[in-house]
Structure 1
Amino acid sequence: MRDLARGMFVFGYDNYMAHAFPEDELNPIHCRGRGPDRGDPSNLNINDVLGNYSLTLVDALDTLAIMGNSSEFQKAVKLVIDTVSFDKDSTVQVFEATIRVLGSLLSAHRIITDSKQPFGDMTIKDYDNELLHMAHDLAVRLLPAFENTKTGIPYPRVNLKTGVPPDSNNETCTAGAGSLLVEFGILSRLLGDSTFEWVARRAVKALWNLRSNDTGLLGNVVNIQTGRWVGKQSGLGAGLDSFYEYLLKSYILFGEKEDLEMFNAAYQSIQNYLRRGREACNEGEGDPPLYVNVNMFSGQLMNTWIDSLQAFFPGLQVLIGDVEDAICLHAFYYAIWKRYGALPERFNWQLQAPDVLFYPLRPELVESTYLLYQATKNPFYLHVGMDILQSLEKYTKVKCGYATLHHVIDKSKEDRMESFFLSETCKYLYLVCVL
């Protein structure tokens, strides 16, 4: 399986380099590159992510290293240093630029400078912290998002040349504003400059202080000037998912007790109001556990769907030590995968059918599979990993890479391979059977 996962990555990466670089993404069906949609600035699905900075190459750096490909890693790092610039007239989402670009630059920098070199010799001759300097440059360009906001919660988007656009939206999702602390915190500690961690931590605290006094839950969309909740849905999927993830992972990285205290309180509220089904995973009466979407103030059910991003949560439960519940919840998402050979973007648990049918090669279920295998060493999770890998090969592989599934039932495709397929999905498939 390890070699198959590596082969999947290499096929996608080599085709990106051959047909798309220096553009941001690969269109794997027509074998060409994709950059920002300059003709339609309102096309946020593209423009939030693609900043005209060779996104897929940057995002894939640490995967090259983890897979032990030192020669290609060193070549890719030099390409990034020589060709990538953030002095671009591109308006990008702060969250996406942080997790995909800033995070990757910092990861690659740490891999190069790590005295232990756990993935083989990834050192680069005459390396002078260029990736760290690039990360600093990008972060400085993102800082205007944190200015002129009455709550301390950042604007969702910045132009890398000019700052916050004059017509910027005052509404942002909780995950987007509250999932910057890992990367900004690492940058601050590497630079010895507390500015970046301070603004990210201020945003987290501002969101946390807006939670419901009755339920302890947060909503999914907030006005950054008034602090009023525009979206009152509380769940584990889009708009909230990584807020919880970053609370715990920030504590693991930095050891700040306040982060763990916030996570523990949030986790208790999630258990109290979002969890449905029997109390124990594998015994008792009633349905298996499920986490639903509720009103943040009342805890009342708002709809009957879950989304594929929620598949990250079993992995987070592993990290907090709630392995039994993680096993049960992971089984729910894997059962959906088995039915369709992919995870539909939204699945209606009441109707037992997809509500939104596309699958953009997301990594969340694979990450949870990897973490559960690490926690249990149960070979079942190796089987799950292989099943996911084979489904991806069967249903998403095309001429020049792997394509988004437009429809998980009829398996029609869209001509897009998002950068996270190489940087996360392939990486976790590889790691399932390595460590």
Structure 2
Amino acid sequence: MARTRSSSSSTRFRYCNPSYYLKRPKRLALLLIVFVSATFFVWDRQTLVREHEVEVSKLTDELRRLQDMLEELKSKAVPEDPIEIQRREKVKEAMVHAWSSYEKYAWGNDELQPQSKIGVDSFGGLGATLIDALDTLYIMGLDEQFQKAREVVGGLLSAHDLSGDKVFLEKARDIGDRLLPAWDTPTGIPYNVINLAHGNPHNPGWTGGQSILADSGTEQLEFIALSQRTGDPKYQEKVEKVIVALNRTFPADGLLPIYINPDSGTGSYSTITFGAMGDSFYEYLLKAWIQGNKTSSLKLYRDMWETSMKGLQNLIRRSTPSSFSYICEKNGDSLTDKMDELACFAPGMLALGSSGYGPDEAKKILSLAEELAWTCYNFYQSTPTKLAGENYFFNPGQDMSVGTSWNILRPETVESLFYLWRLTGNKTYQEWGWNIFQAFEKNSRIESGYVGLKDVNTGIKDNMMQSFFLAETLKYLYLLFSPPTVIPLNEWVFNTEAHPLRIINRNDANVASSEGQHKPVIKIRSRKTGRLGGK
């Protein structure tokens, strides 16, 4: 038994005896292979662990670096001015008051008559205030009001660009299709009145059958945008044909009369002005260039605009004794020392276009913009109510005097203050805008909305809350006290009614198709004409 146990024990431990392998070379080789494999396995695991530790260390360092960068950015970031926040909220509250009043007394109508507390259809029953206010509601974050308006009207490209909701694009396309027959003239310069249900475009009798410059040259942004977003070029082709036609006889000073013959494309003997019926044509030459991302293919627009700005500078005069700069009107070879409040869009336009010039000319153009803005601000400050009249005359020795003395809640001066603040960072423009807003609050706000004034000297109120007060005046005031990242000017361009359109390269297009709801009658009308529409 002892021998057997000893033999068993010897057999058990023979694999630990080197002589066992020395006598058997194959088994020695196998042992070496196992040993080397095990060594490599352990070494590889250790290497992987070390490499992993290095990578983790690198990632940790990178995270620390990013955290340090974020902390540095936070430390450098200028906190938003609490006064700006407070003022912005005041303007927002004003919008809520205006909108709630419209909603309560005039829902679905074009505009509200606040004193009568009834709605009126100034534009054929299109729900103009609903359409005009959509993007203002969206920008101000008034989501509940926006959604309610959306359920009633789907109308603007701006609302589509901001919200991405295709219902607005579908409606815009439907209306665009119904407007297209207005451009069926020998020159492509459109008639200014059309029945959306039946077509039948024509010009109003009071123009002598002529087309109005501002109306004919102020559809480019919207129709180009419509082509971009639908992928259908027909809208863009129609409105660009107008610019080509006008360019054929474009005068050396770039200034066109307010009446244009749609058959010949030539200007009739009439007033040249940057006010009513002329203004937004010049604005759109610049903004179409911006809308197209300032590419060389749009050089025609920019060249025409710069030519017109040379003409504008020839219309500049200065008052005595205060040396207010103002833009004259021109009839033939004679100048009239009169400037509309509507022309107060020009300082903002000049500031916006100044960056396209060389340094010296840009400085000159921006300086002129600032001078004109000072004049426009004083249109407000010079009256007892601190609200501007419709137009002003300049006489030697007495600076400015109110001509037409009503105020209908127009936005042009505030619009220019917005652009100048954005482009210069000068808070003076915010202060001026706040003073104007306070004057509206004091003189125009009533329990049932906002009204204009029949006379800025006496403060007697009228009975109309214009749709552009919600679309433009309050929007520009809100943006005046908002960070520049809200609707940044390098990504958006505002049309003449203050609706922001996203800047898209000409080759980009968002395709959408569908039939929208139909509305009966509309006049191709710009509030820049100074007229209040009708069927």
TM range, normalised to the smaller chain? 0.7 to 0.9
Deviations 1:62-101 (A, max 9, x none): 00111112232223212224xxxxxxxxxxxxxxxxxxx6
**In 1, distance between residues paired with 2:161 and 2:246?**
30
The partner residue of 1:413 within 461, 473, 476 is 461
> Structure 1 199/165 Cα, relative in aligned 2: closer, same or farther at 3 Å?
closer
**Secondary structure of residue in 1 paired with 2:268:** strand
User: What is the Cα deviation at residue 189 of structure 1?
Assistant: 0.6
The partner residue of 1:227 within 244, 265, 276 is 265
Match of 2:169 in 1: 132
> Structure 1 332/132 Cα, relative in aligned 2: closer, same or farther at 3 Å?
same
**Secondary structure of residue in 1 paired with 2:153:** helix
Structure 2 contact 452–461 (Cα < 8 Å) conserved: yes
Paired AA for residue 307 in structure 1: D
**In 1, distance between residues paired with 2:117 and 2:269?**
39
Deviations 1:112-139 (A, max 9, x none): 22xxxxxxxxxxxxx5x12111101101
User: What is the Cα deviation at residue 56 of structure 1?
Assistant: 0.4
**In 2, distance between residues paired with 1:244 and 1:167?**
21
Structure 2 contact 381–387 (Cα < 8 Å) conserved: yes
User: What is the Cα deviation at residue 394 of structure 1?
Assistant: 0.8
User: What is the Cα deviation at residue 333 of structure 1?
Assistant: 1.0
**TM-score, scaled to structure 1:** 0.82
Structure 2 contact 254–305 (Cα < 8 Å) conserved: no
Structure 1 contact 318–326 (Cα < 8 Å) conserved: yes
User: What is the Cα deviation at residue 379 of structure 1?
Assistant: 1.9
Is 1:107 the counterpart of 2:149? The answer is no
**In 2, distance between residues paired with 1:24 and 1:307?**
25
The partner residue of 2:375 within 332, 340, 348 is 332
Structure 2 contact 105–119 (Cα < 8 Å) conserved: yes
Q: What is the aligned residue count?
A: 374
**In 1, distance between residues paired with 2:220 and 2:135?**
20
> Structure 1 189/7 Cα, relative in aligned 2: closer, same or farther at 3 Å?
same
Match of 2:192 in 1: 156
**In 2, distance between residues paired with 1:357 and 1:172?**
28
Counterparts of residues 34-433 of structure 1 (less than 5 Å): 34-35=120-121, 46=122, 50-81=123-154, 105-113=156-164, 127=165, 129-147=166-184, 149-164=185-200, 169=205, 170-213=209-252, 215-254=253-292, 255=294, 256-271=298-313, 273-277=314-318, 287-295=323-331, 298=333, 300-301=334-335, 303-321=336-354, 322-340=365-383, 341-350=386-395, 352-433=400-481
Structure 1 contact 276–292 (Cα < 8 Å) conserved: yes
**In 1, distance between residues paired with 2:322 and 2:91?**
38
**In 1, distance between residues paired with 2:337 and 2:429?**
28
Q: Which moved more, 1:138-147 or 1:167-176?
A: 167-176
**In 1, distance between residues paired with 2:264 and 2:308?**
23
The partner residue of 1:30 within 113, 116, 123 is 116
Structure 2 contact 181–201 (Cα < 8 Å) conserved: no
RMSD (Å), alpha carbons: 1.9
User: What is the Cα deviation at residue 403 of structure 1?
Assistant: 0.6
User: What is the Cα deviation at residue 231 of structure 1?
Assistant: 4.3
> Structure 1 168/396 Cα, relative in aligned 2: closer, same or farther at 3 Å?
closer
User: What is the Cα deviation at residue 166 of structure 1?
Assistant: 6.6
**In 2, distance between residues paired with 1:276 and 1:54?**
41
Deviations 1:169-198 (A, max 9, x none): 421211110111000000011011111111
> Structure 1 312/360 Cα, relative in aligned 2: closer, same or farther at 3 Å?
same
Structure 1 contact 308–344 (Cα < 8 Å) conserved: yes
Paired AA for residue 290 in structure 2: I
User: What is the Cα deviation at residue 290 of structure 1?
Assistant: 2.2
User: What is the Cα deviation at residue 375 of structure 1?
Assistant: 1.7
Match of 1:38 in 2: none
**In 2, distance between residues paired with 1:306 and 1:217?**
16
**Secondary structure of residue in 1 paired with 2:403:** strand
> Structure 1 378/228 Cα, relative in aligned 2: closer, same or farther at 3 Å?
closer
Paired AA for residue 255 in structure 2: L
Deviations 1:343-373 (A, max 9, x none): 2111111263211111110000011111111
**In 2, distance between residues paired with 1:202 and 1:192?**
18
**TM-score, scaled to structure 2:** 0.67
Q: Percent identity?
A: 34
- Runs (5+) with no aligned partner, structure 1: 36-45, 82-100, 114-126, 279-284
User: What is the Cα deviation at residue 211 of structure 1?
Assistant: 3.1
Match of 1:19 in 2: 105
**Secondary structure of residue in 2 paired with 1:329:** helix
